[in-house]
Structure 1
């Protein structure tokens, strides 16, 4: 059972629980001021020692200069061979042009797991909309809805969208921002000819081929890495020819040549010359071999172990635990690069090379287990920091869970860490080698983070994988707790995303979770499944059915000690009773919910505040606005800082003021709510606009409300 919703629409409340009048109710303060509008800057770091590409950068600048005359965002495709430096080029250019895009710069890796694992447009849109600050609870449930919301949120100012490593044109079509002077820049090793075959709105890309570096540019880059005192001559030319004009290969060769243990450029050239029987296309790989062979044995081992990681990008903390002491030498050797603070990456070619080496290393199997274990522990630690909900997996059972308690200092740190690793968590879940029990624990461990950040597409993907694994593991006996919990996890994720199709599927999985839990006598899971069914019934306009389901959920708990769950069920019953017009019953349930939240060993003040807000609405809807004053003031006191909850409370405060005969104060609150909603990019701003329009047309509106 999760925390209550912050959505305030769709209910009527009544009944005497709170009395009194708090003067703070009528005070404005700094908390009512809107938050600054976010301007995303999502670009990762570009390469050091960038050289050449003047012609391509000039062409990008030319396209940028002409964007004001366009009626739709400009689409640009940079394509070229693997390792030619497409990503480095676009990052270098974009980082110098951020001021040209006042609406922000968005970035997504479109192939985080290589060509076989292209990113879904819905997952990318959830990420983009999330950094714009729009409330997670208002994320649309379909990819079309997400695309429309992204266009709406970016319609006011030009934005830049960088989509790196695009695999197919279908990944791109719904990722366009709304302002016509925006740009969308893609990198891909493919020409993406599907744009011509399926043109949409005239959005054919301007194609720019990224060629290999010429020898002069390679020499400049080589010296930028190895040092300006590198001698020229035939030895350097031998190395540069073998590098095939690929910047990443040049960097690796330069890092090796700068190593005193490697005998400089001459030593590197001599080794390359001895391999002249190799075909030209194999020479760059031979340079990787040479760079690898020149490492100390322990650093070579660390590089091999990185081949067990399912993606080329990871946290520094992961590498430091997997192979302590190798991160610095790998950077010095040019085999590792910085992606963002606290995170590193291998070039895709290098990661593939590490995977080849790992496949031949018997230790790689153990390394893969360590990869799975690291992400499972990391996600579990974040889950414990983010939520107090019950989980079935042994990862969360004492005393083992105690070791996870100190991984993250606070909620914000846990969210940052898991947000950065969200694609890696999916990649781990998709590993063939992960055991069903561990996959199911991973599905439980990502719940709170994906719920908080609204990454429904990735969340549902992991939940489906876990459910399939649980079904295979428990198919012989017809199901058990693991299977019931995975049905519940998938149903919850679908319910939270909330499209009509999602709700219909969630009904099936909640039902399956309920039946499996009932069969094995697990009252907590049966109750949670019934609660989910009740929430869907309410959302689908069947509050009486919801009330019955919530009552059954309480009954399923039996004598189980679960005070927070009981408080949540009382809260849900209050909402359902209100929707059914049962005002006194609604008030009774809300009063029980408030008492339950505050009586917990660690009082749940957040849910208590939301319950007070609901109660204030109940008093107002029942025509007793005076009785809404005190609970509303207490709710506002708890909702510190710009947030959707505070905006809702300020809106309702305006309604109460109007009902108490103070239309000027009511209008001031509605204006404040409109500003807050606007700064939060919330669709609820329209409710404030409607109130303001009504107050302008009917000055006496406040006296008649209720």
Structure 2
């Protein structure tokens, strides 16, 4: 009897049985995503819109594909607040596959959003696909088992939406936009029509109710004064909130004084009235708080970490909350409503000190990113901010804290890089500073955009070289070419690798023109070796790694030499030169352990490679000792442990112990599945073979350590 499963590719545990009970282990390594930010405090009306959303939700049983809902309306009308309020009232069972959220807007690429979504699902970042279509396919695969809600806030074009559809047919994609997004129908190959929901301005009665709700007095003001304020608010909920906050200020004259001030301004056109309400809220602030508000106008986006305001304008966050100008967006983070941020931008632009405000914001992000980078990696960097007494070394306690602090600001880092006023030197520092974060989290789209900007800025600076500054600018250009090449190599599509090769060559040439820089030239050669290895040309890779070692000359770089020995050993094993591989990997192991701070993790990864090389050489017994040492280091569930267990199973099979082999392969399968790794197929194929044979073990196969879990390049 043959007992098998067919009909598709499965990611995760597969159980067959007549009666199956209990809870299956595995699935997402990080739980079910619940990414919604906080909604507005106090909510009124919108009964018709919420009923419409409820009806769409109730009709999911009839769906053969996810439904798209577009909430559109004017700026400040409350589209986001409505959607967040509705979604936060839903039970978790409504969307068992999770709730995803992304702030869209001009310039936000769907690939960057997909990288974030897939990362939140727990997929190893080493397995992120390299192209937008492949990312979309992976997201659909990962979300095929349970209905999901995807909230896309502030969409500006239909092109931002099409790839962000989850895989379960009972899912919903909910979009807020100022536009109707009429092009969505043309982009849907099935010709499906979205559900469009126009969000109108609030009526006068609802505005008055919201005013009293924010004021905290259900039986509060009424009459002509409140009517005047409501008219000035033009039906925009956020304006009503600010007006109520202003009226609640103990030093104000309440709603009557607010109405009188509005009346003294002459009667503006209805759509201009909200601006005056904002002006009144701003004018009631202390001068120091006003400066803090203008600082937020210099900030390139409307959402930010509380730490930014607390460090650059201490003491202003509380008064801005009290005035209704600021709201909570998540733990440790705040935001301005889009309309309010626009008002702050106007005030900042009119401030004679605007350049200083902007410089303060840019410098804060550069130093914060640099502080995180110093925790994330010990690699060498060119920028002066990373060394010396001025280096921001004590900002974060450890790597986990640095990642948690910087991850929510990833889009702000790009926004800072894209500011026309950001100086080339600051932009290049930022490109070096984001390296560790984006490498760890796999945010390739953002990473490549920032490094492209840095290459352009450094190139412009180098083209205007003087004799005094030419060498420094040339070296800076070399490092930016290297940073872009590295990001492209890490993403790894065929087009990326071809472009990366050109930038590695440009890095070498720029370094030579600048008078030579062994580290940069060696790292560029190493990068070219990685490209050759990715193209399954181990002999070319080994040659390039050898050139990288020679390029170091007498430069003191013990860790870089250890890493190059590792890469040379891996290439030699892939080329079938097993004895040379054994010698080089042994050299790498000794070098990692001889560092001033022994690199035990990279030593363990080297031992795993030693075991794979011994298997490839047909010496499975010699694989057992390095495997045992590697397994001891890889105690926690990880791709490295799963790889080691899989290879141990291969060794057991080669040594004639099929029972031990199957036990290891089953454990590897469960580990891969729990990590949402596509390598689950490596174990499944072994278990499914009639004779249990794994097939030839390639030392450069996907079952081996690679990506962020392998020894990183020397840099």
TM-score class, shorter-chain normalisation, is: over 0.9
- Does structure 2 retain, via aligned residues, the 8 Å contact 1:139–1:454? yes
**Which deviates more from structure 2 when the two are superposed, residues 479-488 or residues 161-170?**
479-488
Question: Where do 1:603-614 residues align within 5 Å?
Answer: 603-614=598-609
Compared CA separation, residues 489 and 238, structure 1 to 2 (3 A): same
Q: 2:393 aligns with which of 390, 396, 405?
A: 405
* Structure 1 residue 622, shift from structure 2 partner: 2.0
State the distance in 2 between where 1:199 and 1:693 align: 39
State the Cα distance separating 1:201 from its structure 2 match: 2.1
In 2, Cα distance between the equivalents of 1:325 and 1:705?
62
| Contact 2:612–2:697, Cα closer than 8 Å, also in 1 | no
- Give 3-state SS (helix, strand or coil) of 1:421's partner: helix
2:350 is the counterpart of 1:360: yes
Q: 1:456 to 1:703 in 2, by over 3 A?
A: closer
- Deviation, 1:37, is 5.9
Q: CA-to-partner distance for each residue in 1:26-63, whole Å, 9 max, x for gaps?
A: xxxxxx98875621111100011011111111111111
Q: Matched residues in 1 for 2:158 and 2:43: separation?
A: 29
2 CA distance for matches of 1:46 and 1:123?
24
Is 1:575 the equivalent of 2:565?
Answer: no
Residue 429 of structure 2 aligns with which residue? 441
- Match for residue 37 of structure 2? 44
Aligned twin of 1:27: none
Q: Rate the CA distance shift 1:704–1:421 in 2: closer, same or farther, 3 A.
A: closer
What pairs with 1:118-517 in structure 2 (closer than 5 Å)? 118-228=107-217, 229-401=219-391, 404-477=392-465, 480-517=474-511
Matching residue of 1:22:
none
Contact 1:644 1:680 (8 Å CA) reproduced: yes
Check the 8 A contact 2:239/2:274 in 1, yes or no. yes
TM-score, L = length of structure 2? 0.91
Cα distance between partner residues in 1 of 2:185 and 2:166: 21
Q: Is the 8 A contact 1:120 1:171 kept in 2?
A: yes
Aligned to 1:106: 100
Contact 1:563/1:596 (CA < 8 Å) preserved in 2?
Answer: yes
Instruction: Output the CA distance in 1 between the equivalents of 2:254 and 2:28.
Output: 56
Which segments of 5 or more consecutive residues in structure 1 lack a partner in the other structure? 1-31, 112-116
| CA distance in structure 2 between the aligned counterparts of 1:654 and 1:494, rounded to whole angstroms | 34
434-443 or 513-522, larger mean C-alpha shift: 513-522
Q: Distance in 2 between matches of 1:506 and 1:646?
A: 31
1:671, distance to aligned residue in structure 2 (A): 1.2
Q: Which moved more, 1:605-614 or 1:165-174?
A: 605-614
Q: CA deviation at 1:669?
A: 1.4
Residue 622 of structure 2: aligned partner: 627
User: Contact conserved, 1:644 with 1:677, CA < 8 A, in 2?
Assistant: yes
* Alpha-carbon distance, 1:581 to partner: 1.0
Q: Structure 1 148/702 Cα, relative in aligned 2: closer, same or farther at 3 Å?
A: closer
Q: Which residue does 1:28 correspond to in 2?
A: none
Q: Secondary structure at the match of 1:616?
A: helix
Contact 1:310 1:428 (8 Å CA) reproduced: yes
2:15 aligned partner:
none
Q: Write the deviation string for residues 452-496 of structure 1: whole angstroms up to 9, x where unpaired.
A: 000000000000000000000011358610010000000000000
Judge conservation of contact 2:27–2:676 (CA < 8 Å) in 1. no
| Deviation string, structure 1 residues 367-402 (Cα, Å, up to 9, x no partner) | 11110110000000000000000001111121222x
C-alpha separation between the residues in 2 aligned to 1:581 and 1:71? 51
Higher deviation after alignment, 544-553 or 246-255: 544-553
Structure 1 counterpart of 2:596 = 601
User: Could you tell me whether the CA contact under 8 Å between 1:658 and 1:705 is conserved in 2?
Assistant: no
Per the alignment, residue 75 of structure 1 pairs with 68
C-alpha distance in structure 2 between counterparts of 1:275 and 1:245, whole Å? 19
The question of whether the paired residues in 2 share the 8 Å contact of 1:597 and 1:608 is answered with yes
CA distance in 1 between partners of 2:697 and 2:143 (Å): 37
Paired residues of 2:638 and 2:671 also in contact (CA < 8 A) = yes
CA distance in 2, matches of 1:379, 1:583: 43
Residue 276 of structure 1: CA displacement? 3.5
Change (3 A) 1:234 1:411: same
Q: Deviations over 1:622-666 (max 9, x none)?
A: 222222112111111111322111111111121122222221221
* 1:524 aligned partner: 519
Displacement, 1:672?
1.3
**Paired residues for 1:530-679 under 5 Å:** 530-679=525-674
Structure-2 change in CA distance of 1:627 and 1:212 (3 Å): same
CA contact (8 A) 1:223 1:254 kept: yes
Q: Does structure 2 retain, via aligned residues, the 8 Å contact 1:658–1:703?
A: no
Pair 702,483 (structure 1): closer, same or farther in 2 beyond 3 Å: closer
Deviations 1:261-317 (A, max 9, x none): 111111111111222331111101110001111112221121112111111111101
Q: Following TM superposition, by how much is the alpha carbon of 1:604 offset from its aligned partner in structure 2, in angstroms?
A: 1.1
- Structure 2 unmatched runs, 5+: 1-24, 699-715
Q: Equivalents in 1 of 2:422, 2:464: separation in Å?
A: 20
Distance in structure 2 (CA, Å) of the matches to 1:44 and 1:213: 23
4+ long deviations beyond 6 Å: 32-35, 702-706
SS of 2:304's partner is strand
Match of 2:84 in 1: 91
- Greater mean deviation of Cα atoms: 501-510 or 678-687: 678-687
The alpha carbon displacement at 1:564 in A equals 0.6
Partners in 1 of 2:373 and 2:30 — Cα distance? 29
Q: Is contact 2:29–2:121 with CA below 8 Å preserved after alignment?
A: no
Shift in alpha-carbon separation, 1:704–1:374, aligned structure 2, 3 A: closer
Distance, in Å, in 1 between the alignment partners of 2:192 and 2:435 is 38
Q: Does the Cα contact within 8 Å between 2:478 and 2:508 map onto a contact in 1?
A: yes
Greater relative contact order (Cα 8 A, min sep 6): structure 1 or 2? 1
* Distance of 2:557 and 2:174 partners within structure 1: 52
Give, in angstroms, the shift of residue 141 of structure 1. 0.8
* 2: CA distance, partners of 1:62 / 1:702: 52
| Change in 2 beyond 3 A, CA 1:127/1:482 | same
CA distance in 2, matches of 1:645, 1:446: 25
Distance 1:292 1:631 in 2: 67
Q: Tell me how far apart the structure 2 counterparts of residues 340 and 101 of structure 1 sit (CA, whole Å).
A: 21
Contact 1:661 1:702 in 2 (8 A): no
